[in-house]
Amino acid sequence: MHFITENMMLILTAMAALVMLMWPPLSRKIYGIKEVGPLEATQLINHHEAVVLDVREDREVAEGMIPGSKHIALGQVGSRLHELEKFKNRPVVISCRSGARSAGACRILRKNGFEQVYNLAGGILAWQQANMPVEKR
C-alpha cells in the first residue's frame, strides 16, 4: 500500500498510457468498424461493387490514389454526406495514408446509417506495399 501512495503519479501515468494504447482497437469495436486488408478490399470492389472513399488531403491524393476512388477530405465528410447517400446500401471501403483518419470517417458514416463500412488497414501505404494499382489525378 505504501508503494501505491508514494507512486500514485507513476501509476496514473501508466494507466493513461494503457488506455491510449487500447483505445483505437476498442473504438473500432464499439462503433462496429471492420478492417480489411488490400486483398479483401479488392474482393469487395470487384465482387460487391464497393465504393472506395479516400479521406486524405488534396496534396496527398495528388501522389496517387486507389483507381476509381472518390475523394472527400476527412474534414469535409460530415458536410458532404449527401454525395455518399446513393452508396448507403453498398460496401464502402475508406482509405487514408495509414488507416487512422479513415477510422474516423468510418465512425461518421456508421453514425449516419451506413451499414457496410470498412477501414482499409494500413491505408494507401499498405495498398502500395501489396503492389496494388494507384492512379494519379
Describe the crossing of helices 8-30 and 100-111 by its angle, rounded to 10 degrees.
60
Cα distance between residue 74 and residue 83, in whole Å: 14
| Residues known to be catalytic | 96
pLDDT at 5 over 60: yes
Torsions phi, psi for 32 (to 5 deg): 70, 35
71 has which bridge partners? 54
Please give the span between the terminal C-alpha atoms of the chain, in angstroms, as a whole number: 62
pLDDT tens per residue, range 6-57: 778 887 888 777 766 655 555 555 566 799 999 999 999 999 999 999 999 9
Which residues are CB-neighbours of 62 under 8 A, at least 6 positions away?
Answer: 136, 137
pTM over 0.85: no
Residue with cell 501515468: 13
Segment 111-129, tens digit of pLDDT = 999 999 999 999 999 999 9
